[in-house]
Amino acid sequence: MIIENVKIFGEDKTFTEGRAAVEDGRFVDPAQGAGEIVDGGGCFMIPGLVDIHFHGCVGDDFCDASLQAVENMAKYEASVGVTSICPATMTLAEEDLHKIMKNAAEYRRSTDEKKAAGQWDGKGAKLVGINMEGPFISEKKKGAQAADHIRKCDTALFRKLQEESGGLIKLVDIAPENDGAMEFIRDVKDEVVISIAHTVADYDTAAKALEEGASHVTHLYNAMPPFSHRAPGVIGAARDDEKCHAELICDGIHIHPSVVRATFAMFGADRIILISDSMRAAGLTDGQYTLGGQDVFVKGSLATLADGTIAGSVTDLMGCMKTAVLKMGIPLEDAVACVTMNPAKEIGVYDRCGSISVGKDADFVLLDENLNVKAVYVNGVKQ
């Protein structure tokens, strides 16, 4: 397949008019492409999006621990241009976490089996990881996580869950001020990306965690003390450590546009990863839903618990990218990098996806000039 008449987003983060070619589900040298010709109609051609932090959509949640839920989520995400998914777990009872991890491993296994048997229809985003958002967090900043199941950092439990998931856990969240957190970081820093999250840590504690091996911050600004001039907290420590990357939810609800712009200036676009943090109501209408066992009320773009606490978002990652560009003034090139190459690099899948490069999976999206999705392809298959 040859895709022509498109502006292609390159690894240098610029758009170049040209053509791309796909063979056997991967990008090949455009000069050697053959077969069907797709007229891109002058669209932007960007890599498929990679969401490393979301919980659910279209009525389903990763924590439902059912194969059908993961499949429904994968199909919906692909339909909006998110071609690789790394959904998040919540703070739940240990037995539930075991079920969720085993379900994810089973989903991967059954998908691979269908592919090997030639029974795969090619539809749906690829499950490339799991983001373990709980339970090693602080009760003081639990957000929409259930307090009952919060626990101390536990290396043995993490390793057991990682084994059950078939190695899919790419990120684990911790509150670094908790007992045993620094030891946990030292134990597992070479096995998984450690993220500072749901925390009341001060600057020094967060800086120490980063020095020990943490390298990521979960939904910067949310569920942590604010960035203030005499108490910069986690946000200041993250900014000061060049190897630390930060998640931002650009749904227009979680963070003021001015703060989003300030964060891009402070961190530089290379260190920012946009996430959706969407819950099961994404893609559905207003109403009452659940997240991590708690009731959530959705009205427009706002999802809250009964007490008003924000409970995830209802905007998919493509919607967040559009909001960042069209309503917050983030340059398109920066926003695209923050939803494709940056998250792919962070969870170690950039060798397979995250850019339009020869040899990588042919996951891409065609967007018109108003950033509306015109077509999505996963491994060269139209979604």
277 binds Zn ion (CB under 5 A): yes
Binding residues for Zn ion restricted to 128-147, rule: CB under 5 A: 133
CB of 142 vs Zn ion, minimal distance in Å? 12
Nearer to Zn ion, 43 or 50 (CB): 50
51 binds Zn ion (CB under 5 A): no
Nearer to Zn ion, 61 or 277 (CB): 277
61 binds Zn ion (CB under 5 A): no
CB of 370 vs Zn ion, minimal distance in Å? 29
Nearer to Zn ion, 88 or 328 (CB): 88
CB of 195 vs Zn ion, minimal distance in Å? 11
CB of 312 vs Zn ion, minimal distance in Å? 6
Closest by CA position to 374, among listed 333, 328, 318, 315: 318
Stretch binding Zn ion (CB under 5 A), from 86-94, 122-130, 351-359, 366-374 = 86-94
Stretch binding Zn ion (CB under 5 A), from 69-77, 85-93, 332-340, 363-371 = 85-93
Binding residues for Zn ion, rule CB under 5 A, total 3
Nearer to Zn ion, 51 or 277 (CB): 277
Catalytic residue among 60, 173, 241, 277: 277
Nearer to Zn ion, 179 or 307 (CB): 307
CB of 3 vs Zn ion, minimal distance in Å? 34
Stretch binding Zn ion (CB under 5 A), from 81-89, 102-110, 207-215, 300-308 = 81-89
Nearer to Zn ion, 103 or 195 (CB): 195
Q: Which residue is nearest to Zn ion (CB)?
A: 277
368 catalytically annotated: no
- Give the integer Cα–Cα distance in Å for 128 and 106: 13
SS (H, E, C) the chain: CEEEEEEEECCCCCEEEEEEEEECCEEECHHHCCCCEEECCCCEEEECEEECCCCEECCEEHHHCCHHHHHHHHHHHHHCCEEEECCEECCCCHHHHHHHHHHHHHHHHHHHHHHHCCCCCCCCCEECCEEECCCCCCHHHCCCCCHHHCCCCCHHHHHHHHHHCCCCEEEEEECCCCCCHHHHHHHHCCCCEEEECCCCCCHHHHHHHHHHCCCEECCCCCCCCCCECCECHHHHHHHHCCCCEEEEECCCCCCCHHHHHHHHHHHCHHHEEEECCECCCCCCCCEEEEECCEEEEEECCEEECCCCCECCECCCHHHHHHHHHHCCCCCHHHHHHHHCHHHHHHCCCCCCCCCCCCCCECCEEEECCCCCEEEEEECCEEC
Stretch binding Zn ion (CB under 5 A), from 77-85, 134-142, 261-269, 276-284 = 276-284
Nearer to Zn ion, 123 or 151 (CB): 151
Stretch binding Zn ion (CB under 5 A), from 84-92, 149-157, 285-293, 358-366 = 84-92
Start-to-end Cα distance in the chain: 15
256 Cβ neighbours under 8 A, 6+ residues apart: none
Mask for 87-106, x = binds Zn ion (CB under 5 A)? -x------------------
CB of 261 vs Zn ion, minimal distance in Å? 23
Contacts to Zn ion by CB under 5 A: 88, 133, 277
Residues annotated as catalytic (active site), given as ranges: 277
